[in-house]
Amino acid sequence: MIRKNKGDVIAACCLIIGIITIIFPLYLTVITAFKSNAEIARSFFALPSGFRLDNFKEVMGKGNYFSSLFNSVFVTGAGLLGMSLILPMAAYPIARNMKTSRFYKFLFYFMVAGIFIPFQVRMMPMVKLMNTLGLMNPVGLVCLYLVGSTCEGLFLYVGYFGSISPDLEEAAYIDGASTAQIYFKIVRPLLRPMTATILIKNGLWMWNDYLMPSLVLTKPDYYTLQLFQYVFKGENVTNYSLVFASFLMGMLPIMILYVFMQKRIIGGMMSGAVKG
């Protein structure tokens, strides 16, 4: 009984530390977004004197804000659309044939091996390739996100297919359905939990990513919201009130989406762990 109480206390302490670690940076972001630079200089941790919206108006008044917002929406939306179309179609033949075909088995493990290659190893060849192809723009960035999500996406989809019985497909074949009809009318609707998981996970990545856009998007007109924040950073001074205001404006949409969709993430992961 004493050991159990000690375990509960340790778990509660770890939970409290985790909550503070998450809440404290969020608290600083919110209060700083409503402060003036003078208030920030007086006390970085104190509450603002009032909820002034001048910072947000000034951020939106910048010439590149709405183009950066459009670029972020375009990159995230186009990337998610491509993933929802390409990844399940690529995973379907692998999942159904890897037990009987050496080629598909090799292909699966070859793609899974890509998960363990660090981004830093691929970074310089990737930039050189995109520059050679003339794709240092949002379209090229979408292509890179599609490629970057392929290995993990295939791994998750193939695991999820293990929870879907092939008997439904065999019955449809007997009734005269084609492979395309079986995929789009039977298989694809059953993939919705895993599709939601992958789209939400990669949507968070693409919307919040800074490193890859900073390597590929070289012109201010191509900037996403994450790069737009650096407009307020000069050579000798940084306007922190505007930086935090722009950060909060870019963070809120994806946070709201995650709060409403987190049950689908957990459900998709749990379903993918169950083998049929």
Question: What average pLDDT does this structure show over 110-114?
Answer: 90
* Assigned token pair, 240: 């922190």
Residue 169 has pLDDT above 80, yes or no: yes
pLDDT at 84: 93
pLDDT at 274: 47
pLDDT at 56: 86
Domains and CATH numbers, the chain: 1-52 (no CATH), 56-272 (1.10.3720.10)
Residue 259 has pLDDT above 80, yes or no: no
Cα–Cα distance for residue pair 146/76, rounded to 1 Å? 10
pLDDT per residue over 35-92, tens digit each? 888 888 888 888 888 777 888 888 888 768 889 989 999 999 999 999 999 999 999 9
Q: Which of 75, 61, 81 is nearest to 217 (CA)?
A: 75
Mean of the per-residue pLDDT values for the chain? 85
Residue 134 has pLDDT above 80, yes or no: yes
How far, in whole angstroms, is CA 123 from its chain's centroid?
18
Stated pTM of the model: 0.83
Query: Is residue 210 within 8 Å of 72, Cβ to Cβ?
Result: no
Report the range of poorest mean pLDDT among 91-95, 199-203, 263-267. Answer: 263-267
pLDDT per residue over 230-246, tens digit each? 877 776 777 888 888 88
What is the dihedral sign for C-alpha 246, 252, 258, 261? Answer: negative
Residue 270 has pLDDT above 60, yes or no: no
pLDDT at 265: 59
